Structures are given as structure tokens and as C-alpha cells.
A and B are shown apart, each in its own frame.
Chain A
Amino acid sequence: MKDLVEFGINELEKKDIQYGDFRLSEINTEVINVKNGTVEAIKSSESKGYGIRIIDGGWGFASSADLTESGIEETIKRARKIARASSKASDPIELKEVEIHQDSYTTPYKKDPFKVELEEKMDYLMEVNERMDIDERIKVRKCNFNAWKTKKFFASTEGAKIEQELLKTGGGLDVNVSDGEDTQKRSYPNSFGGDFNSRGYEFFENLELLEHAEETAQEGVDLLDAEQCPEGEMDIILNTNQLALQVHESCGHPTELDRALGTEASYAGTSFMTPEKLGELQYGSDIVNIVSDPTAEGGLGTFGYDDEGVRARKIDLIKDGIFVGYQASREGATKVGVDVSSSMRADGWKNLPLVRMTNINLEPGDWSKDEIVEETDKGIIFDGIKSWSIDDKRLNFQFGTEAGYLVENGEVTKLIKNPTYTGITYDFWRNCDAIAGEDEWKLHGVPNCGKGEPPQTMQVGHGCAPSRFKDIRVGVGKW
């Protein structure tokens, strides 16, 4: 593999181009899905290939799985031809100067999930699945294990040479229940197949799926008879699994500089957080601090270097409630005059790197969740992602969770179903008046963030602790 990278970068260096980089990856994945007492799917896959970026009057990118020297030559030719075509409608491109690295990085882990016997993983999931089988109203009970291992080589015509081995592991469980009249869903530790981290098999083991199987299934059944979420305005408390998605949608995406500059306008959308608001916009209350941190230990968006060769670094996005930073590429950072954030990431070798979230984390506060509940007269605790939607500038959002818990006079009184809440991003975050502390802070993995054309899927992380938001509209729509 290294030889091919050497060959590729040598070929690029021979060309009369402004810039070129060569990124070769080998990706191995393993998935096991168990459903209703049967192993629905076990699949092992591997994918190898490379992507080449060139600036030659404009941007050009070509990728291929042809791992021969002639294949690489052809792909360079294609990327260059595309770059020349781009120059028909492109201003000069300038990349922010960054430190050039020759280095390597490996995800720290204890136990390689690919070396754990298939049978052991399967038997464990079968046991978890059986443990969920507690009521005939449970129509679907699922659990899963997933692991990804990526070997990456990056080299640029500026002299960068970086080798990385990234490992990610996780899993989860969920039930769908129906009584013929209504259906509900409940999952653990979260939707989207559970929770995921940049760690080894030890992370999957620590999820303790077996210990949570029965209670999750029972709460799914209980939801069928639960009261409908009330309509109105009240305080809401977001548990970390839902707050992670709130951070993702209403802070992660709008602080992507490419969106703010309009380069996703025709697909994912733009952002209300435009450059003239940098340092000025009161995004949230003064207890709100949000960072982009690809160095966070175990985060699903943790790595050594991004796909432009920029070393992972933590930056502030929201400081004391004020919008202070962007997730920025080398090109975007030059245009706006901000720092690069080590956020350029590609989905596999086949795709072009884009500004993608790493770990976008809400910093802990100084409350405990118990204190937050005790000091809430009337409110709802939201838990478990179920429905999520936000406008293309990331202002108006509506979320629904699997379960809600009514809080009355400082106590949790009942389970409610179909809970939804809606708001405008900055109003919502300005109404954040309590954030739990470090002890309850959790780093979740979201494995399915979509962006770009052709569509790319990215794995990102979000750390947060349970938080309260005042006077939020809940119970949207006709039921």
C-alpha cells in the first residue's frame, strides 16, 4: 500500500499543478444484526481504493479502485482533466498555510473487535435478543454489533505523509411494539443502532446490552398505554442521547463554514450563522460552551489528522453563549480569515473530503440532573431519538423522542408517548438555564450524518450532559 502512495505522490509531483494530494484507504467492516431470535445479517466487507485531489486552475477530484500503477496514472489524468474543466468557472483557489506533517496515528484500544470470535459475538446478541422477548405485543426485537477498521495513507505535494489506523466499535438494541391500535419504539442506548465510539471491543462490552434488554423492552410496551404528550409551553430537559442530536443539528451543521459560505446551498442547505455574525451573535445563554474536538478520547469523530493532513485540534464554536468559531477547511479558512479546524473528512476513499463534524461537544455545567428535575415545576424529560427535522438554514427545528417523562413540582410523575418539541435555534439555546456536570457528561456516537453530492455518510461524536431549556413549545401536530 505504501508503495502505491509513494508512486501516486511522485506522479503528482511531476505535474505542473498548484496542489495535489493522494489518499489511499483500506476499510474493513463487520456487522451482525439479530432480529426476533434469528441472525438477520452477518456481513464482512472490505474496500480498497484511492482519491486524488488536484488544483489546476480549479478543483478536480477522481477516485478509483484500480490499484495498479497504470490505474493511478489514469486517475491522475482524469482528476487533472476535471480540474481544467472546473477552471472554466472558478476563481483562483488559495489554501491556508498549515504545518506539514509526516506522522502516524492509531486509535488506542484494548481489544480488537475483528479478533473476537464471530460465535461469541453472535451468541451474546442472541442472548440479548431473547432477554427482550417479554411480551407478545413486542413485534420486532433487534440488536446489533458493528465494527469499522480503516487504514489510511495521505500524502500531498506539499510534503505531508501521514499514516493512520482508525478503529470504531458499537452496538445497541431496540423494540417495536404494537397492540393493533398503536405502535411505539424504544431503544438502548440510542436510536440509529445504538452507540459507537473510537475504541475496541471493550466499548461494546461496556454498553451492557444484556443488562438493559428487559427494561428497554418493558418501557416500549408501557408506552402503548402511556398518555399522549401534552400541548403547550413548558420547560424541557433533554437527556444526553437526544441532546447529542440537538447539538448536531442546531450547532454542528450551522457552524460548518462551507454551509455558511453557500457551497451546500443546493443540497444540505446554508446556515443562519454567516461570517459577519462571528464574535457578535448571542447564540445561547452564557452557560453554553460548544467545541469541535477531534482529540476527545474515544469520540466517534476522533482521529490524528483530517483528510487534508491537518493535525486534530480542539476549537471553540460557542464561547459563553457567543458564536466565535467555524469548522473550516484550508480553502474556507482563507476566504473568511479564520483558523482551520481539522474538519475535512471524506466518506471512504471514493469521496471528496468535505467540512464534516468531528466531535461537537457541549461542555459540562455545574448542575446535577437530579437538581435540575427538583427545580422544575412543570416540564418534560425527552429521551431516545425518534424524529428530527430542521430547516435549510438551521433555524426552525422539530424533534420527537421515543419516550417522555412528565415532571411536576420537582418530581418525575409519569411516562408519556409521542413527545415532540419545536423552536428556533438561537431562542432555544438562549433559554438553556441548566447544564449537568462532568459526572453525567457522555460522549455519544452518531454514525449516519449525511451531506454532500453524491451523498456521503459520516461518523461523528457529540458529548453533553442533561440540560434544561425554559418555555419550549411541546406536543406539536394533531394526534
Chain B
Amino acid sequence: MVGSEEEFERISDKMIKESDADEIEIRIIKSDTALTRYANSQIHQNIGQEDVDISIRAVFGKKTGAASTNSLEKSSVMDCLSKAETIAKNQKSDPDFKGLPEPKKGKKAREHYVEDTAKFTPEERADKVKEIIQMARDEGVDRVYGAFQTEVQNLFVANSHGVKRFSKFTSANLTTTAIADWDNDQGFGWSESCSSDVKDIDHMQVGRTAVEKGLNNLNTKKIDLGEYDVVLEPLAVQSILMYMDMMGFSAKKVQEERSFMKGKFGEQIMDDRVNIYDDISDPDMIGYPFDYEGVPKEKVEIIKDGIANKVVYDSYTAGREEDKESTGHALPMPNPMSPLAMNLLMDTGDYSQEEMIEETDKGILVTRFNYCRPVHPVKGILTGLTRDGTWLIENGEIKHPLNNLRFTQNLIEAFNNIEGIGEERKLFAMGFYPAYFAAPALKISDFNFTGTTEF
């Protein structure tokens, strides 16, 4: 694999020395991803990818320019530097740009790098997948699908103010969908597991849960549309958190009046048991301890006891307000999505999922959601469908599986209608940037289902 921490440091030192710019930032991302996909109980895609991206941000006064290359060749790197400088010189001044971040001391971060994950082989992935396939067959399910991914992510950031940081971490993620076939009917089930340590992935448990759900999901029935109590498993809650994050938790969205948090700070906007925060130091979390500008990630308590409390900042959005500092949530800049909470957690409560079901007279159990999209981001309205296991709950028991349902729901209202929070939470990889969210199960009343589908 091309590139090492020492090589990155040498490249960045040279560029900082040779640059004519007033300020300069060098960001190097190196990734090594391995993934085995399986479908119809066969391995159909199996890949290994490695790449390195060197991005340079050059600054002249309040003018910035950026360029990137994936070649570590001296000529390519110097050409990249020259491009960034040329762009910056031709740029217009941005009065809101207050400069690249100064070095800032962060808390000592826990290492999320596990050698076993980094060295996990295609043979080992294939063996685990084969065992899942065999177990499913033994249970009468001939079609399982999913992916087993391991990756190593490296991030190096340095700038001309003296910021110089390197971090790497590993992650392993296994997903399984089971499709049970019986008499022209199909039952869908899902499970997944994520950790920085591949040894934590209990592949047989993931497979068994998916198979069990699939077998229990045969003979689905339709249900009248309307408002129901719902028990959302952690993965379904994670989807909601992800959209809350994108619709509301960033300083940029607030500054541009595009966040449901705008004008609500200090107000009780959700049930008082709701605590949502971004915290890389939480033992359940994995990722880089600093952001893509090299600023250490602070814990940001976004929703505190149901109150709209804070949002996340990068150096640019912090510079647009009085007495604000970056909280360490910059994406690779320039980036219209930045800042973004990338290590989001929701506090657990005291309910087991079984208790949530037992205390439900009539409701719906949801494994996960599919294709959620904001309908009105500032009102917090989201639509999406249930997927891979939806059941009717009646009189405290699971009655029968349901056809998948479409919801169109105001999320803020939903988080005001929380009746119970699960006592455990699960970690999920988000699939974009290295972002990870940890969510518990939730019981919510009056969740609005507006459509149904045919399976």
C-alpha cells in the first residue's frame, strides 16, 4: 500500500515550506477497504480497494483555493500545490473566512485500530459467509444476502499554523438479509453488527437473527393506514437520527435558517428523556478523534433532556459567530455539507424491547426503514418505508407480519411522543464518510402511516 504516516509528514512539511500562500492546509486520507458481498447464498462480489487522496487548501488573505490528487509522486503533489495556489489567487475574498484553525489540545483519544481487523483476509470473510449460508440452509432458508466489510482508514492533517495530526482506525461490518420462501410467499429478515474489532462480530448471531425474522415474516397482511404506536428497533431509530442530523444539527443549517433547531435553543422540543450528542470519546463509538481540519472533536450535547441545546461547528461556521470555536466537526473542505455530526449517540433508557411490546395494546414493530427522505426539512417532516420485518402488535404480543408501510411523519413530534427508550444501543456504520451512530430502540405513539406496499 502506498503511503505511510512518515511519508505524509515529509510531504506536508515540504509543501508548507515551499508554498507562497499565507496559510496552507494539507489533508491526506488513505483507505484500504475489503468487502465480500453475497446474494442468493453465493458470493457474487468480492473486492479489495486501496486509495490515497491528498488535498491542499491554500489561502491568500481571505481567498481560498483547493486541489487534490491521489498520486504521491513529487511532481503530482507539487502540481497540486500550484493548482490550489493559482485558484486561491484568482478567488474572490470571503469576509466570513477567519483563517485556518490554530493548534488545539484535545483529550487523549482512545485508539480504535485493531490489527486483527486490518489483517482480516478474503478467506476468513468467505469462511464466515459460508457458515451463515449453511446455517440458513439448515433452517430451511436457501437465500441469504449481505456484505462483510473490513477497512482501515487513515487521516493526516497539517497546516501552516502548526496543526499536525495523524490517526487511523479499523471497522468491521456484517449485514445479513434472509428471504424465506414458502408457498409462493416471501418473508424478509435483517440483522447487522459493527465494531472496530472483527472478533466482536458474532456472524452466526447476525445470520440467525435475520433467518428467524425472515421465517416469522411469511404471510404478511395489510393494515388500515393511520396513526399507530410503534416499537422501532435500533436500526430504524438510527435512520431517524441520521436525518435529524442532516436536517438540523449543523451550525450552517441554523445560520442559513434551514434547521428545525433555529430559534428553538433553550426550548423543550422533545421528550425530556431524549439526550442526543456527538462524542467520539464514548466507549461505544469509533472513528477519528479529530476532524478534517485537524481540530479535536468535542463532545457536543445537541439535545439535552429534550431541550435544543447546541449544534456542531467547523472553523468557518464558528468564524461567522461571536465567541464561537470549532467543535471539531468539519468535513473535508471545501464542502457544502460541513459541519456534520459524525459520531452521534442517543442515551439509553430502561425498557427492554420485550417490555415495549408487552405494554402495547395495538402497534407496529419495525426492524428498519428504507429510502427515507425529508419532505420538509425545517418542519422536520420525513417519509420512508418499513423494510425487512414489520409486525402487528396486539394486546402486548406480536400478532402477525405486515406488508411494508410508508410513514410521513414530523420527527420532532415523534420524539415528543416517546413512551419508552431501550436499555441497550447498537452501533451502525453510516456508509458515508467514516460516520457511526449508536441508537437504542424506541416506543413512540401516534406514528403516522400514510401508505402501504404489496409485500
Asked if A140 lies at the interface with its beta carbon under 8 angstroms from chain B, I say yes
Tell me the chain B residues, 401-447 only, with Cβ under 8 Å from chain A.
Answer: 404, 406, 408-410, 431-432
Give A119-148 as 1s and 0s: 1 = Cβ < 8 Å from B's Cβ atoms.
100100010000000000001100000000
Q: Assess the B41–A266 pair: CB atoms within 8 A.
A: no
List the B side residues contacting A176 at CB < 8 Å: 256-258
- Nearest Cβ on chain B to A68's Cβ, whole angstroms: 9
Q: Assess the B66–A266 pair: CB atoms within 8 A.
A: no
Main secondary structure of the interface of A (DSSP, over half): mixed
Asked if B451 lies at the interface with its beta carbon under 8 angstroms from chain A, I say yes
Q: Assess the A88–B130 pair: CB atoms within 8 A.
A: yes
Contact residues on B (Cβ < 8 Å of other chain), bracket = 35 or more
Q: Assess the A89–B122 pair: CB atoms within 8 A.
A: no
List the B side residues contacting A350 at CB < 8 Å: 49, 51
List the B side residues contacting A62 at CB < 8 Å: 47-49
Asked if B335 lies at the interface with its beta carbon under 8 angstroms from chain A, I say yes
Asked if B164 lies at the interface with its beta carbon under 8 angstroms from chain A, I say no
Complex CA–CA separation, A91 to B38 (angstroms): 12
Asked if B94 lies at the interface with its beta carbon under 8 angstroms from chain A, I say yes
Give the contact stretch, choosing among A76-84, A299-307, A363-371.
A76-84
Across the interface, B48 reaches (CB within 8 A) one of A63, A182, A476, namely: A63
Complex CA–CA separation, A477 to B123 (angstroms): 49
Known: A48-B71, A61-B48. A89 touches B453 (CB 8 A): no
Give the contact stretch, choosing among A13-21, A33-41, A211-219.
A33-41
Q: Assess the A65–B52 pair: CB atoms within 8 A.
A: yes
Give the contact stretch, choosing among B173-181, B272-280, B285-293, B355-363.
B173-181
List the A side residues contacting B46 at CB < 8 Å: 58-61, 82-83, 85-86
- Nearest Cβ on chain B to A25's Cβ, whole angstroms: 11
Asked if A105 lies at the interface with its beta carbon under 8 angstroms from chain B, I say no
Across the interface, B334 reaches (CB within 8 A) one of A40, A71, A478, namely: A40
Known: A59-B46, A88-B127, A454-B149. A262 touches B39 (CB 8 A): yes
Q: Which of B47, B146, B147 has the most CB of A within 10 A?
A: B47
List the B side residues contacting A392 at CB < 8 Å: 370-371, 385, 387, 404
Give the contact stretch, choosing among B105-113, B298-306, B372-380.
B372-380
A-B pairs under 8 A by CB, number: 275
Asked if A286 lies at the interface with its beta carbon under 8 angstroms from chain B, I say no
Known: A81-B122, A140-B256, A387-B374. A64 touches B47 (CB 8 A): no
Give A64-108 as 1s and 0s: 1 = Cβ < 8 Å from B's Cβ atoms.
111100010000001101111110111100000000000000000
Known: A140-B256, A398-B406, A478-B410. A122 touches B90 (CB 8 A): yes
Complex CA–CA separation, A44 to B39 (angstroms): 38
Q: Assess the B176–A41 pair: CB atoms within 8 A.
A: no
Known: A89-B42, A139-B257, A183-B258. A351 touches B371 (CB 8 A): no
- Nearest Cβ on chain B to A33's Cβ, whole angstroms: 6
Tell me the chain B residues, 254-288 only, with Cβ under 8 Å from chain A.
Answer: 256-258, 263
Asked if B155 lies at the interface with its beta carbon under 8 angstroms from chain A, I say no
Give the contact stretch, choosing among B20-28, B29-37, B307-315, B343-351.
B29-37
Complex CA–CA separation, A278 to B431 (angstroms): 34
- Nearest Cβ on chain B to A337's Cβ, whole angstroms: 17
Asked if A1 lies at the interface with its beta carbon under 8 angstroms from chain B, I say no
Asked if B161 lies at the interface with its beta carbon under 8 angstroms from chain A, I say no
Complex CA–CA separation, A422 to B450 (angstroms): 10
Known: A41-B66, A64-B50. A89 touches B385 (CB 8 A): no
Q: Assess the B375–A477 pair: CB atoms within 8 A.
A: yes
List the B side residues contacting A389 at CB < 8 Å: 371-373, 383-385, 406
Asked if B125 lies at the interface with its beta carbon under 8 angstroms from chain A, I say yes
Complex CA–CA separation, A389 to B94 (angstroms): 37
List the B side residues contacting A476 at CB < 8 Å: 383, 408, 450-451
Asked if B133 lies at the interface with its beta carbon under 8 angstroms from chain A, I say yes
List the A side residues contacting B367 at CB < 8 Å: none
List the A side residues contacting B41 at CB < 8 Å: 89
List the A side residues contacting B147 at CB < 8 Å: 266-267, 453
Q: Assess the B454–A398 pair: CB atoms within 8 A.
A: no
Asked if B45 lies at the interface with its beta carbon under 8 angstroms from chain A, I say yes
Asked if B68 lies at the interface with its beta carbon under 8 angstroms from chain A, I say yes
Q: Assess the A478–B448 pair: CB atoms within 8 A.
A: yes
- Nearest Cβ on chain A to B35's Cβ, whole angstroms: 6
List the B side residues contacting A336 at CB < 8 Å: none
Complex CA–CA separation, A272 to B42 (angstroms): 21
Q: Assess the B451–A396 pair: CB atoms within 8 A.
A: yes
Q: Assess the B453–A454 pair: CB atoms within 8 A.
A: no
Complex CA–CA separation, A307 to B301 (angstroms): 47
Complex CA–CA separation, A91 to B42 (angstroms): 7
Across the interface, B336 reaches (CB within 8 A) one of A41, A122, A126, namely: A41
- Nearest Cβ on chain A to B213's Cβ, whole angstroms: 13
Asked if A178 lies at the interface with its beta carbon under 8 angstroms from chain B, I say yes
Known: A38-B96, A391-B370, A422-B406. A454 touches B66 (CB 8 A): no
Q: Which of A67, A265, A395 has the most CB of B within 10 A?
A: A265
Q: Assess the B91–A39 pair: CB atoms within 8 A.
A: yes
Q: Assess the A33–B453 pair: CB atoms within 8 A.
A: no
Known: A41-B334, A390-B371. A88 touches B35 (CB 8 A): no
Q: Assess the B375–A352 pair: CB atoms within 8 A.
A: no
Q: Assess the B37–A453 pair: CB atoms within 8 A.
A: yes
Complex CA–CA separation, A336 to B404 (angstroms): 28
Q: Assess the A266–B375 pair: CB atoms within 8 A.
A: no
Name 15 extra pairs, CB < 8 A, besides A45-B55, A476-B450, A477-B375. A38-B96, A40-B94, A43-B65, A46-B69, A66-B50, A85-B123, A262-B39, A264-B39, A265-B39, A265-B145, A386-B375, A389-B371, A389-B373, A389-B384, A477-B381
Question: Residues on A close to B: CB < 8 A?
Answer: 33, 35, 38-49, 58-67, 71, 78-79, 81-86, 88-91, 118-119, 122, 126, 139-140, 176, 178, 180, 182-183, 261-267, 269, 272, 350-352, 386-393, 395-396, 398, 400, 418, 420, 422, 424, 453-455, 476-479
Q: State the 8 A-B residue pairs at the shortest beta-carbon distance, nearest first.
A: A41-B334, A477-B408, A85-B122, A396-B453, A266-B145, A45-B68, A265-B145, A266-B177
17 A-B residue contacts at CB 8 Å?
A39-B94, A40-B94, A46-B80, A47-B69, A49-B70, A61-B48, A63-B49, A64-B2, A65-B50, A65-B70, A86-B122, A89-B130, A89-B133, A90-B43, A183-B258, A266-B146, A391-B404
